[in-house]
Amino acid sequence: MVNSVGKPLDRVDGRLKVTGRALYAAEHQVPDAVSAVLVMSTIPKGRIAKVETTQAEQAPGVLAIMTPFNTPKLPSPPPGSEKNRSTSRKLNLFQDDQVLYSNQPIAVAIADTLEHATHAAELVRVQYRAEPFNVVLENGLAQAYNPEEVGGAGDPADSSRGDLKSGTAQATARAQHIYITPIETHNPMEPHATVAAWEGQKLTLYDATQGVFSDRERVAGVLGLHPDDVHVVSPFLGGGFGSKGPTWSHVVLCAMAARRVNRPVRLVMRREQMFGSIGFRGRTYQTLELAAKADGTLTAVRHDTVDQTSSFDQFAESCSLQARMLYESPNVSTTHRLVRLDMGTPSFMRAPGEAPGNYALESAMDELSYELKMDPLALRLKNYTEKDPEKNKPWSSKSLRECYRQGAERFGWERRNPAVRSSRDGHWLIGQGMATACYPTRRSESSAIAKLRKDGSALVEAGTQDIGTGTYTIMTQIAADAIGMTPNQVTFRLGDTEFPETPVSGGSQTAASTGSAVKLAGQALREKLVQMAINDAASPLHNLGANDVSIDSGYFVSQSDPAKRESLAAFMARQGVSEIEAKGSAKPGEEKKDYSMYAFGAAFVEVRVDADLGEVRVNRMVGSFAAGKILNAKTARSQLIGGMVWGIGMALTEATVVDPNRGRVVNANLAEYHVPVNRDSPVIDIITVPEDDPHVNEIGAKGIGEIGITGTTAAIANAIYHATGKRIRELPITPDKLL
Ligand code: MOS
């Protein structure tokens, strides 16, 4: 039996993508569909005094202009009606005249064509009664409040073990600094888009969403529909990175617009509209204090995070969580506080909490290593945790030591001269830095169905999403192995609420959650088929023992007598049914109580910094990760490379800049919001350390979508310090900060 899981199978949807036949949300052709274009607020706070729509309404092709003054009141959803609270952001659905942030949707122009709707949106005139506002985190530090809970698992905002004071008193070296990370905007290549079509009280949404079921539930809740009356379809996504996790206002507005004009409506957000209204990573202000004995043993760790939320909703960037578990220290104190700003609500963005938090913690560890005159990697090994020191539980598995070893060896870490500013190539200063990577392992309840078809091939379905990560491919591989087929005998379908229920594709949990369900469904189908073959008098396998019969590459085979075999297609021809199906579902179990579960890794980076101009180039990076079973060597490598490229963006280029005087984003476009491009990324060497974890889930996979960004950002900042002797504690590290 040849197993497919683990192999570098090409993306099964690759051909559809490169030939343009993969349909993204806005590309679904719905007969009679018209276009809607959002009008966004241009002030951060106040009231809408008047919306002048006469001119817009008279423009060619216009069907309607929706405003807060002509939009019907929505029913109030019964409290507790939504399961997925973590993905329920408060929405702006034209129910009042309040402006709560700049770039808030405040009107929708609906017309026969996109051009006409765009033109009409330009003609909508809004008069405001502006009110005083604050968009600067640092101005609100004194008003910061305790959010009580943070992060995907609802961890307490604050933690404390031991006694910080006595810990610092024992220390011979200390590092205490403030690290600041800017607002970042996701910028998936595919803009947020929705096509909404009503049939009576039934609504179909072709939506760019990371969670078809949570989307369905949220839209149904807000519009007062039964979830069964909402059908969400999302077969392809051009990136999401968390921004398409929650359902945002434009999705519901699109459905409301379709109801208003009694036609299907297509709504695509423009790039600049995506700065503030669909979530972003909030600005963080983090205080790190580390103290250690002369041999590097940590005696105290303090991590206090302040970040921003909106005036009307709450989201916390859970930066201080890693400080609780990443290193051994008897004395640890962590806090999270939030400042309400007159901006949109921040949200999940690739490794929410972990990415900026890890930057601060791993920068501080680097600073401490220089205080101690100790190798940065040796300092981390000195404080290695053999169990989770906060939860006092064993790790389900941890191969970080091996990640450090293999990463350091590949990178050539031992050849590094520890002195700062010790290496130079012409006007380039060369430096090397490293950092630990870490991301929690999560799963949620998920289900799947596997069907054997007449021709002997399998159709496997689960609601889930492929956000560009490779879900189609790995699920095909898992199903093929579980049933006993080759991947080309299996078709996997996803992205549809008609399929079995699955969780949101966030928190790096899709492979673990839905992969487990697909495996169980595939195994259930195989067992059912084997039993049917044994009972089938016409089968060569008739009356053999169940343990003697297996399915291999689409054939029933007897183990004891390999001459006894029959293809699944030949078997199906006698069954008189079009399909034979079996279901599987998987959910978190006891492992959550018994183990602390994380993926770990390490990033090693070499940079060169122009001594005269402050320009930073990343020369090379090695990322070494252990994340349980690697389901597809090629898509896994791509995910980890993608995560590390995000680390380059966070370290060097990305920042959403808000004008403090006008409360508006000034770089709401891809020309001035600098996502790293190919030219910014060196060859990235990815090592996946083999790791067998029997505890995390049925397939032993930990999830790899987010861990790549952690570690990388700090490793780059640490390499810049090593190259230049300049410690930059506010991201991104742009040339002006190095001059
Ligand atoms: Mo990810 S930020 O959990 O989609």
Q: Which of the four pLDDT bands, split at 50, 70 and 90, describes residue 77? A: low
CA–CA dist 14, 390 (Å, integer): 43
- Provide the phi-psi class of 154: left if phi over 0, else alpha when psi is between -120 and 50, else beta: left
Ligand 1 midpoint to CA 174 (Å): 34
pLDDT of residue 359: 98
pLDDT of residue 76: 78
**CB-based contact 251:154 (threshold 8 Å):** no
Beta carbon of 352 within 6 Å of any ligand 1 atom? yes
CB-neighbour burial class of residue 97 (10 A; exposed 0-12, middle 13-18, buried 19+)? middle
Q: Which of the four pLDDT bands, split at 50, 70 and 90, describes residue 83? A: low
CA–CA dist 396, 598 (Å, integer): 8
**CB-based contact 315:309 (threshold 8 Å):** yes
**CB-based contact 220:207 (threshold 8 Å):** no
Hey, CA dihedral for 75, 207, 464, 228, is it positive or negative?
A: positive
CA–CA dist 706, 699 (Å, integer): 19
Beta carbon of 506 within 6 Å of any ligand 1 atom? yes
The neighbouring-strand residues paired with 686 are 623
| Percent of the chain at pLDDT exceeding 70 | 99
Ligand 1 midpoint to CA 244 (Å): 9
Residue whose CA is at the smallest distance from ligand 1 atom 4: 242
pLDDT of residue 86: 75
637-640 long-range CB contacts below 8 Å, 24 or more apart? 637/8, 637/686, 637/688, 638/470, 639/469, 639/470, 639/704, 639/705, 639/708, 640/686, 640/688, 640/704, 640/707, 640/708
CA 586 to the chain's CA centroid: 21
From 706, 707, 710, mutation site for ligand 1 pocket: most ligand atoms within 8 A of C-beta: 706
Beta carbon of 37 within 6 Å of any ligand 1 atom? no
Query: Which positions are catalytic?
Result: 706
Beta carbon of 46 within 6 Å of any ligand 1 atom? no
Token pair of 328, please? 């051994």
608-655: per-residue pLDDT in tens? Answer: 999 999 999 999 999 999 999 999 999 999 999 999 999 999 999 999
Q: Tell whether omega for the bond before 8 is within 30 degrees of 0, i.e. cis.
A: no
pLDDT of residue 80: 59
**CB-based contact 343:658 (threshold 8 Å):** yes
Closest CA to 4 of 688, 447, 519: 519
Ligand 1 midpoint to CA 210 (Å): 9
pLDDT for residue 108 is more than 80: yes
Ligand 1 midpoint to CA 349 (Å): 5
501-533: per-residue pLDDT in tens? Answer: 999 999 999 999 999 999 999 999 999 999 999
pLDDT for residue 82 is more than 70: no
3-state helix, strand, coil in the chain (%, to 5): 30, 25, 45
Beta carbon of 395 within 6 Å of any ligand 1 atom? no
705-724: per-residue pLDDT in tens? Answer: 999 999 999 999 999 999 99
From 348, 466, 509, 709, mutation site for ligand 1 pocket: most ligand atoms within 8 A of C-beta: 348
pLDDT of residue 631: 98
Collapsing DSSP states into helix, strand and coil, what is residue 345? coil
Could you identify the residue written with the tokens 């349980």?
628
Q: Which residues have CB under 8 Å from 258's CB, separation 6+?
A: 196, 197, 198, 203, 264, 265
270-308: per-residue pLDDT in tens? Answer: 999 999 999 999 999 999 999 999 999 999 999 999 999
pLDDT for residue 362 is more than 70: yes
pLDDT of residue 87: 79
Ligand 1 midpoint to CA 245 (Å): 7
The neighbouring-strand residues paired with 602 are 436, 624
Closest CA to 147 of 307, 279, 302: 307
CA–CA dist 561, 545 (Å, integer): 12
Could you identify the residue written with the tokens 């202000």?
285
**CB-based contact 192:387 (threshold 8 Å):** no
Ligand 1 midpoint to CA 67 (Å): 32
Could you identify the residue written with the tokens 């299907």?
264
Ligand 1 nearest-atom number relative to CA 505: 4
Q: Kind of pairing, strands 428-440 and 423-425?
A: antiparallel
pLDDT for residue 8 is more than 90: yes
pLDDT of residue 2: 75
Closest CA to 690 of 626, 636, 616: 626
**CB-based contact 41:117 (threshold 8 Å):** no
| Mean pLDDT in residue range 7-34 | 97
Amino acid at 6: G
Mean pLDDT of the chain: 97
167-217: per-residue pLDDT in tens? Answer: 999 999 999 999 999 999 999 999 999 999 999 999 999 999 999 999 999
From 317, 350, 469, 513, mutation site for ligand 1 pocket: most ligand atoms within 8 A of C-beta: 350
